[in-house]
A and B are shown apart, each in its own frame.
Chain A
Amino acid sequence: MLSKEKAREVIDVFTGATKHHTVVNIVENGERLTRFSNSEIHQNVEIDDTIVNLTLHNGKKSASSQGNAFDKDSLLKLVHDTEEMLENSPEGEQEFIPTPIQKVPELTGDSGLEKKFDIKGRADVLKRCFSTLDKDYTAAGAISLDKKMHAYGDCMGNFHYMNYDTLSFSSVVTHKDGATGYGAVTANRLSACDIDAAFKKAYEKAKTSRNPVFADLGAYTVVLESEAVANLLLFMLFGLNGDRYQKGMSFASDKLGQKLFGENLTVRDDVTNECTFQRFFDSEGYTRKPVTLVENGVVKNVLHCSKTAQKAGISPTGHSFNNLGFMMGSSGGYPLNVVMQGGDSSLDEMIKGTKKGILVTHFHYCNTVNPRTLQVTGLTRDGTFMIEDGKVTTPIKNMRFTESLLDAFSNITALSRDLNLVDVYGYPSLIPAAKIENFHFTSGQK
């Protein structure tokens, strides 16, 4: 892992080598991933890569380069290549505004995850899980320890550094006749990493998913476990990107401040919540601030990078992913610390209170059909059951939904008190279970 001191040295090489405004992001990705299928380890990998992103600005011009070589000659070549791009480019739309000096809390330290989930530790926990399976069941999935570092520096004197670990586990348990069940956990602290419980859940779901039947298409009351809620919420979050909003490509375009969802929907991006992935600065060096996205159904805010914030006439809130290469050309901001407010119910209570409905574990391959109406499609997977007269009864074959989330999130009739840590595009987020009326399943597997 690149130390704080070494990161600063690298940044100093850049800022000392060019007259242009300099922004540097150094990102280190270490993945230790053990993948399994048929209850065996079939892929076991260790990957380390450190990437430096250099962005130069000059008025309305900007250019970026990336590299993974850290000797001085390579760093200076990166400067040269970026300067050449900058000097040969025409002006863009906006004048660049340098990031003022920010005070950012530091996040470093040992989470204990690496010690517990080293190569042997990962194998041991899997061995323990597999030993609980009857002979007709097999498990597939992955357990991954991600070790990351992010350093930011610019010629204004901002310097931020953080390192952090995340542990993620997901598994599908399959019966030989095809029934499946899913369990997952994602966390950045040891106390939240109960892999055995997640695996047990997958196993239980598989056991109760045998001999599924076809269900009629149509509108249903659905009880969604937290993972399924997160699968849908993701698309609402994409729509709250400031760039999409400003370009008329969002369901919220021209509707900021309007009530578009039910009273019981409140979603925040809250970096102060320790259970989420606390990254206190963004790739433009701004301090990340908590932002209320939706409050009591009213769309309060979209998320910005510095450019879209400038257009909106507000200060950046530290949600940019610019200057990181992989989202080249993307603007606006994205959430990393999603906390969806719960309610006063529980999963069991929601099921008991449902006369006829469908219990969904999670969704698969969801995609936006129409971003302006927030129409999304996807399929159920790994544990889908009928609910009849307050009880979970028959497992059913997977079905496809096509639904506008403007409708779905206006038809939430219950939310669980408890929030669960689930993966929202790779980051631990706190999400309740939810009961939604009038949710449409539009096709199936026959």
Chain B
Amino acid sequence: MKEKLTRLMEYCKELGADYADIRVKDIWTQSLAAEDGKMKAQSSSRSLGCGIRVYVDGSLGFCATSDMSALEDAAKRAYEIAKVSAELQSEKIELAEKPTVVDSFATPIEKDPEKVSLGDKIALLLSCEEAMREVSGVSRTVSSMSFRKEEVIYCDTDGSYITQSFCQSGGGLSATAVDGNDAQTRSYPTSFGGNYARAGYEYIEGLELLKSAKKCAEESVKLLNAPDCPSGTYDLILDPSQMTLQIHESIGHPTELDRVFGSEAAYAGASFVAPEDLKNTLVYGSPDVTVVADATCPLGLGTFGYDDEGVAGQKVTLIDKGIFKNFTTSRDTAAKVNVKSGGMSIADGWHNLPIVRMTNINMLPGDYELDSLIAGIEDGFMLDVNKSWSIDDKRINFQFACEIAYEIKKGKLTGKVYKNPIYSGVTTEFWAGCDGVAKEEYWTLYGVPNCGKGQPGQVARVGHGSAPTRFRGVKVGVADVK
């Protein structure tokens, strides 16, 4: 394969390309779901193909094909596309320099999920179903797990040749209690399919799904009979599962530099952050807020050796003690602000163009015990597990709904729970209201396997680590208006 791809890169230069690269990806997935006590679905997939980028005189063309016997045709097509693109391009694309690399990387795993028997996986799911369904009042239960393995080969006209193997495992549970008017769901370890990591099957075992199944179901029934969360201005503690979405939507996306330059303007939106903010002028949050983009984080869903442009995975500080410091970048966006690429250019599959994506966007832990965070709240809530999310096209106004709110009064959890908590805010005001972050022992890493961006649409697998975090004066509910 190396010889074939190296020869292809020479062909691209013969065509007249200034630069070209290719990603060959062989992807295996497996998904299993049990519902209401029975197996609902089991499926697997395999997909092999390649995507070729060709740059000609500052213009880009991309062609993807699953026909591995017709690579030169695909390269030629990419070249032709680049030539046409040049007709409507006034600013040439420049790529930030990178070293030539010959290397390999593999996700460290203990148990290959492809080799774990289907019977064992199904037995675990059905055990979880049984445990949840023992709880009276539960209507619907779902237990699922999924796996993804990628073999990736990267090659470019600079002489880089990189092979990588990635392994992703994830799973989760949900229980829903239903009555005539309402349906309430509790999920473990988090919603929308559970938690994910770049790891082997040992990660599923570590989730201890069966141990949490009964509690998950009991809380769904408890929520059905709980009152609606009141509206007002409150102090909140966000659990790491909800911090995942808060960080993702209000820090991860607005700091993507391609978005800042308008690449997503007609689709996912732009950003309130501007290139001038690299001058340490943007106060993003309080001094308690330090956030990094870390592609080296163990188990992170956004962890790799090299991105899809052959740039090494690295750790970049996005916000340092509340001050905005850096964007997430690719080679072309980094060139526009005269920095090196942050190694965050990823393509979903072989058939998509690499674009700027989050890696693991992690908020660093603080110094508080959780009890101390709670003790500092006179009247508020602790919110857990996201249910719904929405943010505007500049990433300013957001609104989230969570599965459950635990009441805090006079510095203590009262034991009372509320359903349907919603909170909203304006990004920099919200982060400025952060005044306490729990310490490292409470820090948890979550994986988001379905971040959407780009046209054609792409899915990225990204990580977010955080500890329980306290925010002051947050708008909860909408009863002031409706």
Contacts and interface: CB of A to CB of B under 8 A. Distances in A.
Interface of A: 31, 33-51, 62-69, 81, 84-85, 88-93, 119-120, 123, 126-127, 130, 138, 140-142, 144, 170-172, 174, 180, 182, 217-219, 247-249, 253-254, 325, 328-329, 331, 364-372, 377-379, 381-382, 398, 400, 402-403, 440-446
Given A123-B87, A329-B33, A44 B393 contact: no
Contact of A65 (B43, B49, B77, B183): B43
Contacts of B397: 379, 398, 400, 443-445
B77 A46 contact: yes
Nearest to A32: B81
Contact of A33 (B269, B420, B456): B456
A40 B46 CA distance: 36
Interface string B366-406: 00000000000000000000011111111011010100000
Nearest to A78: B46
A415 B174 CA distance: 40
A46 B33 contact: no
A329 B31 CA distance: 9
List of 5 A-B pairs having minimum Cβ-Cβ separation, nearest first? A248-B178, A66-B45, A140-B265, A141-B266, A64-B43
A49 B46 CA distance: 12
A355 to B, nearest CB: 20
Contact of A126 (B46, B88, B389): B88
Contacts of B63: 45-47
Contacts of B105: none
Contact of B456 (A31, A254, A370): A31
Contact of B455 (A33, A49, A50, A85): A33
A325 B45 contact: yes
A48 B87 CA distance: 24
13 contacts: A40-B89, A41-B89, A69-B46, A69-B66, A85-B44, A123-B88, A247-B176, A325-B43, A331-B40, A364-B392, A379-B390, A440-B481, A443-B478
A366 B388 CA distance: 10
Contacts of A65: 43-46
A174 B50 CA distance: 35
B383 to A, nearest CB: 14
Interface in B10-61: 31, 33, 35-36, 38-49, 51, 59-61
B147 interface: no
Nearest to B89: A40
Nearest to A87: B118
Given A38-B261, A254-B180, A365-B393, 9 more contacts: A38-B91, A45-B352, A50-B66, A123-B85, A141-B267, A329-B33, A329-B40, A398-B397, A443-B397
Indicate the size class of the contact surface on chain B.
Answer: 35 or more
A84 B456 CA distance: 35
Given A35-B455, A37-B262, A64 B62 contact: no
A439 to B, nearest CB: 10
A191 B184 CA distance: 47
Contacts of A38: 91, 261-262
B221 interface: no
Contacts of B43: 63-66, 85, 325, 328
Interface string B168-193: 00000000101011110000000000
A377 B390 contact: yes
Nearest to A124: B87
Contact of B426 (A69, A325, A446): A446
B353 A45 contact: yes
Nearest to A249: B183
Contact of B420 (A36, A67, A93, A370): A370
Contacts of A369: 387-388, 401, 420, 422
A365 B391 contact: yes
B262 to A, nearest CB: 4
A444 B481 CA distance: 12
Residue from B84, B178, B269 with most neighbouring chain A CB atoms (10 Å): B84
Contacts of B126: 90
A81 B82 CA distance: 41
B33 A368 contact: no
B182 A66 contact: no
A43 B44 CA distance: 32
A119 B59 CA distance: 14
Interface string B422-440: 1010100000000000000
B315 interface: no
Nearest to B40: A329
Contacts, number: 266
B52 to A, nearest CB: 10
A303 to B, nearest CB: 19
Interface of B: 31, 33, 35-36, 38-49, 51, 59-66, 77-78, 80-82, 84-85, 87-91, 93, 117-119, 122, 126, 139-140, 144, 176, 178, 180-183, 261-263, 265-267, 269, 351-353, 355, 387-394, 396-397, 399, 401, 420, 422, 424, 426, 455-456, 475, 478, 480-482
A36 B267 CA distance: 11
A38 to B, nearest CB: 5
Contacts of B91: 38, 40
Given A248-B183, A364-B269, A402-B478, A119 B119 contact: no
Contacts of B266: 37, 140-142, 170-172, 182
B178 A247 contact: yes
A372 B182 contact: yes
Contacts of A91: 38-39
B55 to A, nearest CB: 12
A44 B456 contact: no
A346 B200 CA distance: 59
B219 to A, nearest CB: 17
A93 B394 CA distance: 46
A410 to B, nearest CB: 15
Contact of A402 (B40, B78, B180, B422): B422
Contacts of A43: 60, 62, 263, 353, 355, 455
A57 B258 CA distance: 46
A170 B62 CA distance: 21
Contact of A174 (B77, B182, B262, B392): B262
Contacts of B482: 219, 402-403, 440, 442
Contact of B38 (A93, A170, A254, A441): A93
A365 B400 CA distance: 12
B36 A93 contact: yes
Contact of B40 (A36, A44, A92, A444): A92
Nearest to B142: A329
Contacts of B394: 445
A38 B144 CA distance: 43
A14 B182 CA distance: 45
A379 B84 contact: no
Given A329-B33, A365-B391, A88 B455 contact: no
B259 to A, nearest CB: 10
A367 B87 contact: no
